[in-house]
Structure 1
Amino acid sequence: MTELRKLVLWNDMWNGELAFADEICSPEFTIHFGRDVSTHNGDDITDPAQLKAFVRDFRASFDNDLEFTLVRNFVDPATDFAVSLWNLRIGPDRIVGGIDVFEFDDAGRIRKVHSVTGQRGIPG
């Protein structure tokens, strides 16, 4: 599976397809969010099972009225990094954008993510 395909499945996972975490994430997975860590425990995630629980709880906190859409992905096959730009619709009227920077392990699974959410959507 290509790194680009993993980024698509990452987006699908955030849209509720939690089982994809087991397929695309390294057993030693970590994520770091660029927001106040006192509002969540995301930086404590150390494996795909914890990631799935975090995403499930995050979605539930918005009554599952969320939709992530990909804007653009950047994958350099010569490195173990990739970048994804995305938008998130929260309820009927609010859209915010974000960026995820991915690092892959030797097996090509997502090992580390740095994720930042902005205050407005990212144009396509």
Structure 2
Amino acid sequence: MIELKKLDLWNDMWNGALDLADEICSPEFTIYFGRDASTHNGDDITGPTQLKTFVRDFRASMNNDLEFSLVRNFVDPSTDFAVSLWNLRIGQDRVVGGIDVFEFDDADRIRKVYSVTGQRGIAE
């Protein structure tokens, strides 16, 4: 059964607790971002180690002045999928929202993520 805790830890990982990727992600981990792939190399990520490097570099590119906050998780225990809604504060003046769709492996580790960032925050 998919644990909501893994989705909470995913959010914590994006907030800088990078080593959580080793705990929550499958060795076969991949991610697909729904934004222009010419602006990043995220779609090339394979495995937790590359994910940690990507998140570290992304945070550094924003001078670490960002914070992800969870809006809501949706989990159907009868499937291997879950959805997370989140907001991202960038600096003091900008908030955007996003949605992540997760696919899990047999050990309930995150195997694949489809991630889309919007233009405005998600109402909580």
Please report the TM-score for the alignment, with normalisation by the length of structure 2.
Answer: 0.98
For structure 1, the residue ranges without an aligned partner over 5 or more in a row are none
Name structure 2 gaps, 5 residues minimum: none
SS in structure 2 of the partner of residue 23 of structure 1 = helix
Would you say the 8 A contact 2:81–2:104 is kept in 1?
A: yes
In structure 2, the residue matched to 1:99 is 99
Mapped partners of 1:2, 1:63: distance in 2: 33
Aligned length: 124
Partner of 1:90: 90
**Which residue pairs with 1:74 in the alignment?**
74
Instruction: Say if 2:97 and 2:119, in contact at 8 Å, map to a contact too.
Output: yes
Q: Is the 8 A contact 2:2 2:77 kept in 1?
A: no
**Which residue number in structure 1 is paired with residue 111 of structure 2?**
111
**What amino acid is the match of 2:90?**
I
- Name 1:48's counterpart in structure 2: 48
Q: Give distance in 2, aligned partners of 1:101 and 1:2.
A: 13
Q: Percent sequence identity over matched residues?
A: 83
Runs ≥4 residues deviating over 3 A: none
Cα RMSD of the aligned pairs, angstroms, is 0.9
Cα distance, 1:3 vs structure 2? 2.2
What one-letter code is carried by the residue in structure 1 that aligns with 2:98? G
Question: Equivalents in 2 of 1:8, 1:2: separation in Å?
Answer: 12
- What is aligned with 1:20? 20
* TM-score, scaled to structure 1: 0.98
On the 8 A contact 2:2/2:75 being kept in 1, the answer is: no
